[in-house]
Homo-oligomer: A and B are copies of this chain.
Amino acid sequence: MILTDSPDELRAFLEQARRVGRSVGLHPTMGSLHGGHRTIIRRAAAETDVVVVSIFVNPLQFGPGEDFDAYPRDLERDRAQAEEAGADVVFAPSTAAMFPEEPQVTVRVNRLADVLEGAHRPGHFDGVATIVTKLLALAGPCHAYFGEKDYQQLVVVRHLVDDLSLPAVVVGCPTVREPDGLALSSRNAYLSATERSAATVLYHSLLAGKRAVEERGVSDVAEVRAAMTVVAQREELFDLDYAEVVDPGTLSVPPKVGAEVRLLIAGRTGKARLIDNLAANRQED
């Protein structure tokens, strides 16, 4: 496996690979790899010839007072995990390698960037869109793998690729969960044992919303939201930011629960801000 911190080297290597007919799979990460990442890397390895895992804790997507400095970093551990899961290249550039000069360019997905997570983390999705555009420009034509765990990010990236005609096929990968339902996340490392146990509330809240839609056939958005919220508020160690019902493609709140919706939840447990989401499919009347 190749480990490189050089954007130019990455580009040259992948151009050469494509020239001899090999397909490229890219999984952009901020490191701190866990089972969710490994599942994605294994899928990329099954579907493409050359799998690149990028590891870059992107300063552009952290707001003031967020956990940029505290974000866990362990390149040697990440490298080993990526290799074991089937990566061919780990691209782990420094901030100086990515931005030799103070970056001036911002890529923004309007509207989508300001709702839900965007409302709670101003500028976050501008940072995501900017770095993903750069990584996709560096990688060139590829399949780009993103986890559904960061659902809004996935929708932002799909819009980005369409609107800018970036040469990537975006592949969304299902969330991987602990046996008790907690979605795998690098930020789970911030949780104490009690908080870890409380954090399952996100999944239980989503399940309550899913049951409302799928089993009770609730079509009223506020009622589904309430079903999620009541569960979320029962957990004292969880501080709910939002529980929402949205159209899976546009992330706007529909007037009625349609055939397919996405349930999203976010909040804080101890120092960790956690998010999760689930699809819900309503039987049409």
* Pair A111/B104 contact, Cβ less than 8 Å: yes
Contacts of A137 in B (CB 8 A): 137, 164-167
Q: Which of B107, B110, B112, B134 contacts A165 (CB 8 A)?
A: B134
* Pair A104/B99 contact, Cβ less than 8 Å: no
Contacts of A106 in B (CB 8 A): 107-108, 110
Interface residues of A in 159-215 (CB under 8 A from B): 159-160, 162-167
> What is the bound-complex CA distance between A105 and B165, given in angstroms?
11
* Pair B15/A164 contact, Cβ less than 8 Å: no
Q: Which of B11, B134, B159 contacts A105 (CB 8 A)?
A: B159
* Pair A162/B109 contact, Cβ less than 8 Å: no
* Pair B105/A163 contact, Cβ less than 8 Å: yes
Does A103 make an interface contact (CB < 8 A)? yes
* Pair A107/B107 contact, Cβ less than 8 Å: yes
Contacts of A104 in B (CB 8 A): 109-112, 159, 163
Does A69 make an interface contact (CB < 8 A)? no
A281 to chain B, nearest CB (A): 24
A124 to chain B, nearest CB (A): 16
* Pair B165/A103 contact, Cβ less than 8 Å: no
Chain B residue, CB-CB nearest to A135: B165
Chain B residue, CB-CB nearest to A112: B104
Does A72 make an interface contact (CB < 8 A)? no
* Pair A140/B138 contact, Cβ less than 8 Å: no
Does A122 make an interface contact (CB < 8 A)? no
> What is the bound-complex CA distance between A19 and B11, given in angstroms?
15
Contacts of A130 in B (CB 8 A): 164
* Known A-B contacts A134-B163, A164-B134, A165-B7; A141 and B105 likewise in contact (beta carbons under 8 Å): no
> What is the bound-complex CA distance between A160 and B137, given in angstroms?
12
A252 to chain B, nearest CB (A): 12
* Pair A141/B15 contact, Cβ less than 8 Å: yes
Chain B residue, CB-CB nearest to A113: B104
A262 to chain B, nearest CB (A): 18
* Pair A107/B110 contact, Cβ less than 8 Å: no
Contacts of A101 in B (CB 8 A): 162-163
Does A39 make an interface contact (CB < 8 A)? no
Chain B residue, CB-CB nearest to A110: B104
* Pair B141/A165 contact, Cβ less than 8 Å: no
The 5 residue pairs across chains A and B that have the minimum distance between CB atoms: A105-B163, A103-B163, A138-B165, A106-B108, A137-B165
29 CB < 8 A contacts A-B: A7-B165, A11-B165, A11-B167, A15-B141, A19-B19, A101-B162, A101-B163, A104-B111, A104-B159, A105-B108, A105-B109, A105-B110, A105-B129, A105-B159, A105-B160, A105-B163, A106-B107, A106-B110, A107-B133, A107-B164, A133-B133, A133-B164, A134-B163, A134-B165, A137-B137, A137-B164, A137-B165, A137-B166, A140-B141
